[in-house]
Structure 1
């Protein structure tokens, strides 16, 4: 049941209708004729102004104007120039409504209705003026021309040829038409045979209508063969339908399919020719006659749902399975109304609470609702903790027991039962305390559980507890500090190169930081644009072929995007950033345990809202999830903003850089344990995300027991100023680690600028590097000083000069035959910058990394670049020199097995390998070689192999979508071959 409340003006009426009211031939809101809607309240006729009682007037379906029956009958009778009867007040109000066929039929007698149909068909034919036939002998299509005085040519809609009506030829056939702008063109008349054919079709249609009307049928069927405008099949007599409102002909199967696939409230005539589309609709009687009973019931139910969805102010009855609903008048508003009495279930709905609470007041109901919500959340939390192993039921009294930490031998405080936490059963056997037949040996011989992580008294207990402990089985424990907050500390000594942690994400999504790529919503890889992409069959978003059934997409946004019409063509700004927040929110509905973890992550709301951008971003995300995704009742503003904060503060973003690799993926991932390592600009861990979203945390160096696990939240290859700004902007804190607190950055002078006084050998450094905006001064003479903005401007000028040097070939692949010139310019620029900055300055490192990258590429493509021996050795020498310098610097600022060190080892072994191969070639060409020279060569080869193994050890663990992984595989795959050659 539903009610639709409209404005209470004199020209409109309030309506009440039920689910079957869309079938106007079977149900109505009054005792009047089927097929029309009667007035529901006291009103007046919009045409003559007489008062109308409820049920005495008629409400037109198309425009909702109220009329008395006499005015409508008069309008039908006087309409003799158009095929359909318009709204009687069309001229006064500009209304474009008209009477539907079922409305006319309900108001006229059967004989008068047949005369009305005949007259409408005659008018339709008379409006078609003259007919012409396409002059293409292979086409012969028939057309009606509506403007006989001004039409001189027409383009055939079937063969698309241009017809000249004066010459009666095809204008685009060369030499056939010679008339140019003739002043006296006339319209070609239809061929007599075609005119007789049309007359026959008209007579058949006319007789069919009369026959159908006499027998009370709802369908006008054809009496001779025709071609369906949709499927273009030849349709036999009685197998087609002539629509009542527009007289277009179709086969029954096509009309049936049109009805079942229609997503609008009313089914439109499917007739289209070129750009013309018929605006008429199928009548309810035609729809019912075309569909079976079961299909018709489905259609009615779907129509009711569509009608409800189409109304912005609709309210659905809160009774279980009740179909009743209403639309609240916009002029009244839901805030001004209190109750809605559902005419279907006869229950009173509270519009304020959006619920049925007839026995209690709104205040009492809201209080009960809060208590029920708290009770539900408590039950969900307890269930999640039992599932995860954080809580259990006492095996004796069934009370809930929770163990935060400590020994696995616990005692129930209610019934005093001794319990083994690992087995979730009694600690002692049936004979009571001391009976070890139960299999538990906790605290025997003075053993206690490990105070930091977990301890098992026996292997059976360890095996039984593995399903709970598995996700927490890594050599670190969560620790809390009043200064540093939560962080992971090592539970034992961890050697360098140890895989500390592997973890699947709580939630993840593609990352759109590089807007040049279209990403798969399943695996986050690049979707090729050189061919039509594989699209999701439900929502239309691009996916890789093997990701069509990916749970990441299907169980998250797929149904939402499909329902709300969010498609790639919608051009939703920053859509991937919004998808990751949406997926995080959906955990509330899909996974209570993960949602609980998300709730415990930090979101730095106060810090984010200190800027206008932060507040606007939160508002945008709330708007997307609640309104565009239609989830306003599922998630509150606070919940959505918290998920956004968790993403901004805790998310990992993949660093794959090899876009041509099939393993490339670009995603944002949020983890529980992965969010706990602390930050340090001289880290002891590095992280990697492989395909599938698994986080892997590796130790960079030896880590002592109780030492904090940390990685660098910023790129360590920049100076302290850049790192501090990045941390403040994205992580909302300032770093105070040893490196940041030291102006020299642990003696590396990584941000040092040469003193402007020539006689001084000092470097200009920040006086307070941990504070943004600090003054800079020389560490020796103290005379030279700079403001931070001056330092920024100075470095920016150097970067622009570097860009100018390489602007004509920004990547090694683009150097071509001019590579010598490019390298010379870069080497000269490097020398010039060395006179301005400390030799270990981070910007000089950027320039020298560019030089090494290009040299490495040239040496790898040696034959293509036609390099001579002396030039090859010179380039190899530069590689060895610069990579050695960088490795020495990394020992100060980022010691251990860092990815950057792995790349330097690749450059170093590449340069040394060229020198070794040259020595071998020279010794092979020499007549005699001393044993000392051979021994020295073997030492060099052994040292070279050690470099390769260390570099491969670092880079092998990288994501296969990164170039570093390819370099690591090259050092492994070629090691035996190279050794054999040497």
Structure 2
């Protein structure tokens, strides 16, 4: 007889044996549906989640899955603890973040201004918004009037550097618990304190807080708040680019960085609530990660960006791989192999890769012939080509195509500079005036389809799963394939059954794009329209 006993879980409410688990976190049990509802009301709602925050010597505080998380599942929804404009920016509304346009006032152009503190705003409603209330009150009390006025459309104002830190400091009185939450975040102030930027911030922000507003904070606390923002803030942008802010999300800030993350995030509603989405299945116990930089940068640029702005050296799996998972995103062809060989097919060319990707001073070596170059040569060459790409005329495809052709013997087809040029072309072909899908000649339509496949190959390796990058490329691909099918059928190059088969392939791609992008509000109407149009084509006997 087996006398071993197995521990029976107990109901979270009544402590009686229970079999029904919470559908969210899978961590607590209930004896009945009624007790599950009661437990939810009594506090489990605030604790129920698919993650936990834990600490280790290697990673510090980080987020870990408490159960298996499905692809596309929402892991976290969080309101910003603090939000404000970037350190320096063109005039934006302090409440809603809208980029401001001047209005005619007394025979000259200027912005709408808050009637109390004189900061540029977009309307009287935003002037009275809660987010602006406390700062306006203290500035008015100290007789401070903002002096920003319209001078030109491109004028960047450094005065905005005071707003976000001031809002956190004012929380000490208005919301002390949130103030402590923000102040508990990593600041890396010691790494920033003597940088040129912080010497400027010290002269402006500290002077404003202590001397102008007469708030009871010392210099170190003020600079720490500024550094906490620089270390932890998320770049909040509206889909149309009209709003750009930075915000601190205390819980989301606990996620560690990875150059191949397993999540993506979007911002929903006027309150800019962060919504965190799993792009791939995440197993119980696995770290939940986000990226703090651009996934399509090469390793040199990514690590430099992270060191400069986030004050750490990334040592993730991708950064350690000199080929970046076989994409060669930051690599170039070996000039010796190219010059010596008459066979210059891609498979025969030697690639220069770093001998130690985690050391920016390490030399680079050809995988094929062993030829070395110094790291500074890679830096110089990379920066020169970046500058050239940035100065390209972006109104049409010609300059981008010329850039790709000009450097095809130097840059791998998936080098990050080539990828950026291909992304630009993908947007132009099918979307720009004169290059819409109906206007594209067949060879450019095929070019767009080939570009999509090139970019999807990179997405699968660097941003696998339901990333926004993959979703947007899929949307472009299915549209181009659908147009190609229509033309081939109309030109009697394919039969009706072949056309319907190809349209079904397009529908599969579209459905995947819908799964990825449907949570983004601005995409809802677009996706519904595309699905309806493609469904009509499939149902139409004449296509």
| Compared CA separation, residues 613 and 575, structure 1 to 2 (3 A) | closer
Q: Deviations over 1:767-793 (max 9, x none)?
A: 11122222211122212x222221122
1:462-496 Cα distance to aligned partner (Å, 9 max, x none): 53554644344321111111100111111111111
Q: 1:941 aligns with which of 503, 521, 528?
A: 503
Give per-residue Cα distances to partners, 1:779-820, cap 9 Å, x unaligned.
22212x22222112212332344456x33xx33xxx5xxxxx
Question: Does residue 650 of the first structure (1) align with residue 232 of the second (2)?
Answer: yes
Question: Residues of 2 paired with 1:872 and 1:512: CA distance?
Answer: 46
Task: Indicate the residue corresponding to 2:366 in structure 1.
Answer: 778
Q: Which of the residues 149, 156, 159 maps onto 1:575?
A: 159
In the other structure, the counterpart of 2:38 is 463
Matched, 1:893 2:462: yes
CA contact under 8 A between 1:689 and 1:959: conserved in structure 2? no
- Cα offsets for 1:71-112 (capped at 9, x unmatched): xxxxxxxxxxxxxxxxxxxxxxxxxxxxxxxxxxxxxxxxxx
TM-score normalized by the length of structure 2: 0.85
Superposition pairs of residues 537-936 of structure 1, within 5 angstroms:
537-545=115-123, 546-554=125-133, 556-569=134-147, 574-609=158-193, 611=195, 613-614=197-198, 616-618=200-202, 620-631=204-215, 633=216, 635-656=217-238, 658-659=240-241, 664-690=242-268, 691-757=270-336, 758=338, 759=341, 761-783=349-371, 785-803=372-390, 806-807=392-393, 810-811=394-395, 815=396, 822-823=397-398, 825-858=399-432, 862=436, 867=439, 872-923=441-492, 933-936=495-498
CA 915–448 in structure 1, closer or farther in 2 if over 3 Å, else same: closer
Q: SS of the residue aligned with 1:736?
A: coil
Q: Please report the RMSD computed on the Cα atoms of aligned residues, expressed in angstroms.
A: 3.0
Query: Relative to 1, partners in 2 of residues 1:771 and 1:470: Cα closer, same or farther, differing over 3 Å?
Result: farther
SS in 1 for 2:384: helix
Aligned equivalents of 2:276, 2:450: Cα separation in 1: 32
Asked if structure 1 preserves the Cα contact closer than 8 Å seen for 2:429 and 2:435, the reply is no
1:448 deviates by 11
Tell me, what secondary structure is at the counterpart of 2:70? coil
**Residue in structure 2 matched with residue 973 of structure 1 by the alignment:** 529
Separation of aligned partners in 2, 1:520 and 1:609? 29
Is contact 1:508-1:670 (8 Å) kept? Answer: yes
Could you tell me how far apart the structure 1 residues matched to 2:317 and 2:232 are? 23
How many residue pairs end up in the alignment?
506
Corresponding position of 2:80: 505
Q: Is the 8 A contact 1:519 1:527 kept in 2?
A: yes
8 Å contact from structure 2 (residues 320, 358) kept in 1: yes
Contact 1:453/1:477 (CA < 8 Å) preserved in 2?
Answer: no
Residue 954, structure 1, aligned to residue 541, structure 2: no
* Counterpart contact for 2:507–2:534, Cα < 8 Å: no
Deviation for aligned residue 1:940: 0.8
User: Do the aligned residues in 1 keep the contact of 2:429 with 2:436 (CA within 8 Å)?
Assistant: no
* DSSP 3-state at the match of 2:265: strand
Deviation (angstroms), 1:827: 2.4
Q: How does 1:73-222 map to 2 (within 5 A)?
A: none
Say which SS state the counterpart of residue 856 (structure 1) adopts.
coil
Give distance in 1, aligned partners of 2:47 and 2:248: 17
Distance 1:668 1:683, change over 3 A: same
TM, length-normalised to structure 1: 0.48
The answer (yes or no) to whether the contact 1:876–1:910 under 8 Å persists in 2 is no
Preserved CA contact (<8 Å) 1:684 1:709: yes
Residue aligned with 2:491, SS: helix
Greater mean alpha carbon deviation, residues 757-766 or residues 721-730? 757-766
Per the alignment, in what secondary structure is the counterpart of residue 501 of structure 1? strand
C-alpha distance in 2 between matches for 1:701 and 1:958: 18
Residue in 2 that maps onto 1:173: none
Query: How many angstroms apart in 1 are the aligned matches of 2:239 and 2:358?
Result: 31
Query: What's the CA shift for 1:445?
Result: 6.9
1:873–1:914 Cα contact (<8 Å) kept: no
SS in 2 for 1:525: coil
Distance 1:469 1:750, change over 3 A: same
Offset from partner CA, 1:35-81 (integer Å, 9 cap, x none): xxxxxxxxxxxxxxxxxxxxxxxxxxxxxxxxxxxxxxxxxxxxxxx
Q: Give the Å deviation of 1:497.
A: 1.2
Cα separation, 1, equivalents of 2:22 and 2:450: 54
Say which of 462, 480, 483 aligns to 2:55.
480
* Conserved? CA contact 2:26–2:67, under 8 Å: no
CA distance, structure 2, for counterparts of residue 917 and residue 479 of structure 1: 55
Write the distance in 2 (CA, Å) between the matches of 1:956 and 1:465.
28
Q: Deviations over 1:594-619 (max 9, x none)?
A: 12211321111222235454355345
Q: 1:921 to 1:568 in 2, by over 3 A?
A: farther
Give the C-alpha shift of residue 563 in structure 1: 2.4
Against the structure 1 CA distance between its residues 623 and 781, is the aligned structure 2 distance closer, same or farther, given a 3 Å change threshold? same
Q: CA shift at 1:898, angstroms? A: 1.5
In the alignment, structure 2 segments of 5+ residues that lack a partner are 1-8, 106-110, 150-155, 342-347, 538-542
Q: Please state how far the C-alpha of 1:862 moved relative to its aligned partner.
A: 4.3
1: CA distance, partners of 2:279 / 2:419: 21
Query: Aligned partners of 1:969 and 1:607: how far apart in 2?
Result: 46
**Higher relative contact order (CA closer than 8 Å, sequence separation 6+):** 2
Alpha carbons 2:518, 2:527 under 8 Å: kept:
no
In structure 1, what is the Cα distance between the partners aligned to 2:496 and 2:469?
33
CA 1:935–1:728 in 2, change beyond 3 Å: closer, same or farther? Answer: same
Q: Which runs of 5+ in 1 are unaligned?
A: 1-407, 410-419, 423-439, 816-821
1:777, 1:786 within 8 Å by CA — same for their partners in 2? Answer: yes
CA deviation after TM superposition for structure 1 residue 570, in Å: 5.5
**3-state SS, counterpart of residue 703 of structure 1:** coil
1:478–1:676 CA contact under 8 A, matched in 2:
yes
